[in-house]
Amino acid sequence: MILDGLMLKTKILEAAKEKIRNENLHLTLAIIQVGDNLASNVYIKNKIKACEKVGIKVVYRKINPPTDEEEIIRIIDYFNQDNTVTGIILQSPLPDNLDFGRCSSHILSSKDVDGFTRENIYSLYLNKKGILPCTVKGILCLLREYDICLNGANVAIIGRGNIVGKPLALALENADATVTLCHSKTKNIKDITKNADIVIAACGVPHIVTADMVKENVVVVDVGISKISEKIVGDVDFDNVKEKAAFITPNPGGVGPMTVAMIIDNLIEMGSEQNG
């Protein structure tokens, strides 16, 4: 069965639009981009489109290099202090000379839509209330929509990035799953994925997850995105793996739309907190 992120995103955005209209919410997302990363351009376009769809205002600030961390932090501080701004996204990646963590750490945790600041990561670590990273929240939301049980499930995550792999491991542990975090140095990865009830690939290596690596009736979530001669390719060999999987995300059309939907979800949550 397909884990249909596109369908669920549509459903979430419709509900969000209604909520924003009915409750007369005034929400604004500030997006800061440095330079002209092609993938970032696409992501930002999708975020803006979703905001427009549900009635969230967007302030989009694009900085052309060369720039420095002070400049970025100055803009973040400006949005921090602007009471009409609900949430702030500093689009990653930044150019190589700029430290993303150092810059984004200046975003107020109450305006941290992406959930990457130390305060929100620390809340996740302690299993306390906070803003969850959007991709992580989107995966949890998608699995919940299809009644996939996390409690006691063996989950293999492939990829230990700060954006998906690591926070996802923490979130799934909080949901009582047993998580193995695999990465480029992992030996006999097949032994681990074969034993997993849920396999989540987030490493950006095209088709690294093949049918022989998973057990029958596995749940497979494909987060990775690579481009091979203009075609978007995921981390999962979808055509073959889907024959064994009980549930599987398409890619594109699975996790990506959920990430965008959760930006909207976080903004609504943050708007309510800020006004409450």
Helix (H) or strand (E) holding 189: helix 189-194
Residue 39 sits in the site that holds its own copies (CB under 8 A): no
Q: Which of 160, 213, 235, 237 binds its own copies (CB under 8 A)?
A: 160
Residue 73 sits in the site that holds its own copies (CB under 8 A): no
Q: Which of residues 83-102 bind its own copies (CB under 8 A)?
A: 101
Our answer to whether residue 187 is catalytic in this structure is no
Residue 217 sits in the site that holds its own copies (CB under 8 A): no
Nearest to 156 by CA among 241, 114, 215, 233: 215
Map residues 111-140 to x or -, x wherever contact with its own copies holds by CB under 8 A: -------xx-xx--xx-x------------
Q: Nearest distance from residue 186's CB to its own copies, in Å?
A: 4
User: Which residues, 6 or more positions from 45, have their beta carbon under 8 angstroms from its beta carbon?
Assistant: none
The span from the CA of 118 to the CA of 162, in Å, is 12
Residue 170 sits in the site that holds its own copies (CB under 8 A): yes
The span from the CA of 164 to the CA of 167, in Å, is 6
Query: Judged by CB, which is closer to its own copies: 182, or 221?
Result: 182
74: left (phi over 0), alpha (psi -120 to 50) or beta: alpha
Our answer to whether residue 81 is catalytic in this structure is no
Q: Which of 166, 203, 255, 271 binds its own copies (CB under 8 A)?
A: 166
Residue 77 sits in the site that holds its own copies (CB under 8 A): no
Per annotation, catalytic residue among 4, 111, 112, 114: 114
DSSP state letters, 195-263: T-SEEEE-S--TT-B-GGGS-TT-EEEE---EEETTEEE-SB-HHHHTTT-SEE--SSSSHHHHHHHHH
Radius of gyration from C-alpha coordinates of the chain:
19
The span from the CA of 202 to the CA of 161, in Å, is 8
CA distances 171 to 24, 39, 264, Å, are 32, 26, 19
Q: Which two tokens stand for residue 253?
A: 């059309």
Q: Which of 22, 96, 147, 185 binds its own copies (CB under 8 A)?
A: 185
Q: Which of 37, 186, 226, 274 binds its own copies (CB under 8 A)?
A: 186
Residue 182 sits in the site that holds its own copies (CB under 8 A): yes
Q: Nearest distance from residue 121's CB to its own copies, in Å?
A: 6
Our answer to whether residue 4 is catalytic in this structure is no
- Residues forming the site for its own copies (CB under 8 A): 101, 118-119, 121-122, 125-126, 128, 151-152, 154, 160, 162, 166, 169-170, 173, 176-183, 185-188, 191-192, 195
The residues annotated as belonging to the active site are 47, 91, 114
